[in-house]
A and B are shown apart, each in its own frame.
Chain A
Amino acid sequence: MDQALNGFRVIDFGQYIAGHYASMLLAEQGADVIKVERPSGDPYRREPGFLVFNRSKTAMSLDLKTETGKRIAGDLIRTADVVVENFSPGVAHRLGIGYEAVKEINPRVVYCSISGFGQTGPYRDIPGWDPIVASYAGVYVEQGGGIENRPLYLVLPLASYYAAFMAAFAVATALLAREITGKGQMADISLFNAILGPQSTYISEFNGKIRMPGAARSGQQGMLPLYKLYQGSDGKWFFLALGNFTFFTKFALAMGHDEWLMDPLFEGAPFLILPPRNTQLIAMFQEMFAARTRDEWVAFLQSEDIPCSPVCLVEEFMNDPQVIANDLVARVDQPGLGKIREMGVPVALGLEPGAIQGPCPGIGEHTRMILENLGYSPEKIEELKRRKIC
Chain B
Amino acid sequence: MQPLENIRIADFTTMINGPYAAMMLSDMGADVIKIEPLFGDSWRAVGGGFLSCNRGKRSVAVDLKKPEGKAVAGDIVQTADMVIENARWGVWHKLGLDYESVQKLKPDLIYISILGHGSKEPYANRPGFDPVLQARSGQMACQGGKGKPPVYHLIALNDQAAPMLGAYGAVLALLSRIRKGKSQRVETSLTHASIALQAADFIDYEGYERKYPGDERLLGLSAVFRHYQTAEGRWIFICCTGENHWRGLLKALGLENLSTDPRFSNAHARTENDHELADILEKAIGAGTTGQWIAALQEHHVPAAPGQSADEVLTDPHCEENRLFDDREDPIFGQARLVGVGPRFSDITGIIKRPAPMLGEHTVEVLRELKYGEDKIEALKRENIIFSAL
Contact = CB atoms under 8 A, between A and B. Distances in A.
Interface of A: 2, 4-5, 17, 21, 25, 29, 47-49, 51-53, 99, 117-118, 120-123, 126-127, 129, 131-143, 146-147, 150-158, 161-162, 165-170, 172-177, 179-181, 183, 185-189, 192-194, 196-210, 217, 220-222, 227-229, 237-239, 241, 243-245, 247, 271-272, 302, 305-318, 320-323, 325-328, 334, 337-344, 346-352
B141 A311 contact: yes
A176 B169 CA distance: 12
B305 interface: yes
B286 interface: no
Which 9 interchain pairs have the tightest Cβ spacing?
Answer: A49-B200, A314-B138, A326-B118, A198-B160, A135-B305, A207-B334, A200-B52, A165-B164, A206-B333
Given A51-B203, A207-B333, A350-B184, A307 B132 contact: yes
A150 B150 CA distance: 17
Given A173-B3, A347-B169, A311 B339 contact: no
A2 B236 CA distance: 49
Given A161-B196, A206-B333, A207-B333, A239 B171 contact: no
B205 A340 contact: yes
Nearest to A111: B346
B138 A241 contact: no
B142 A155 contact: yes
B120 interface: yes
Interface in B272-307: 298, 301, 303-307
B183 to A, nearest CB: 8
B310 A29 contact: no
Interface in B34-60: 42, 45-49, 51-53
Contacts of B171: 169, 172-173, 176
A227 B150 CA distance: 14
5 contacts: A156-B157, A206-B330, A221-B150, A229-B152, A352-B184
Contacts of A323: 191, 195
Given A150-B227, A156-B157, A199-B155, 15 more contacts: A53-B200, A136-B305, A141-B309, A169-B164, A177-B3, A202-B48, A203-B314, A206-B333, A220-B144, A220-B151, A220-B216, A239-B131, A313-B138, A313-B141, A344-B195
B267 interface: no
B157 A312 contact: no
Given A118-B322, A326-B192, A338 B206 contact: yes
Contacts of B175: 4-5, 172, 175-176, 179
A19 B213 CA distance: 25
A316 B336 CA distance: 43
B143 A309 contact: no
B117 A322 contact: yes
Nearest to B347: A185
B168 A138 contact: no
B210 interface: yes
Interface stretch (B61-69, B218-226, B252-260): B218-226
Interface band, chain B: 35 or more
B140 A302 contact: no
B219 A153 contact: yes
Contact of A204 (B128, B151, B187, B338): B338
Nearest to B140: A311
A244 B128 CA distance: 12
A127 B337 contact: no
B79 interface: no
Interface in B336-380: 336-339, 342-348
B24 A169 contact: yes
A198 B1 contact: no
B149 A315 contact: no
Contacts of B152: 220-222, 228-229, 239
Contacts of B157: 156, 158, 198
A168 B168 contact: yes
Contacts of A217: 154
A94 B141 CA distance: 43
Given A151-B219, A153-B219, A311 B122 contact: no
A222 B132 CA distance: 13
Nearest to A24: B199
Contact of B214 (A155, A199, A245): A155
Nearest to A177: B3
